[in-house]
């Protein structure tokens, strides 16, 4: 049975391949900067920003939403933007904090996997 870290790594590896195939190095750069953006502005604000920007930002947000929905099925029943945001708005403070912490944990893997995958493309 895979550990949670292995599951994160596997999912990030797959999502990085998709993001790079669709958006190239720009996806990698956005993945690298996303944790700092969340740290400075908060998860909900950043998810709204990514949705508004569209393109590679939307893809990155979708990848993160899918992972979080898979991890928090009780709180997040749908990974589409609107239901995801509603779930965050109605989450308890403890759940919101746990979801944000999980976002950071997954993004650590995505940053590494995207950089590795992008290095293999050069």
For residue 106, what pLDDT is reported?
98
For residue 120, what pLDDT is reported?
57
61 Cβ partners below 8 Å, 6+ apart? 47, 50, 51, 81
Return the percent helix, strand and coil in the chain, to nearest 5: 85, 0, 15
Residue among 4, 22, 34, 7 nearest 104 (CA): 34
pTM for the model? 0.93
* pLDDT 10s digits, 60-94: 999 999 999 999 999 999 999 999 999 999 999 99
């Amino acid at each position: 049975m895979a550990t949670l870290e292995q599951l994160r790594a596997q999912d990030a590896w797959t999502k990085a391949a998709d993001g790079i195939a669709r958006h190239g190095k720009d996806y990698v750069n956005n993945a690298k900067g996303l944790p700092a953006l969340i740290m400075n502005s908060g998860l909900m604000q950043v998810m709204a920003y990514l949705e508004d920007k569209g393109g590679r930002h939307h893809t990155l947000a979708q990848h993160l939403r899918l992972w979080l929905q898979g991890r928090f099925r009780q709180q997040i029943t749908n990974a589409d933007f609107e239901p995801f945001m509603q779930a965050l708005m109605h989450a308890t403070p403890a759940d919101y904090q746990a979801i944000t912490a999980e976002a950071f944990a997954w993004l650590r893997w995505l940053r590494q996997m995207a950089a590795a995958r992008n290095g293999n493309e050069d």
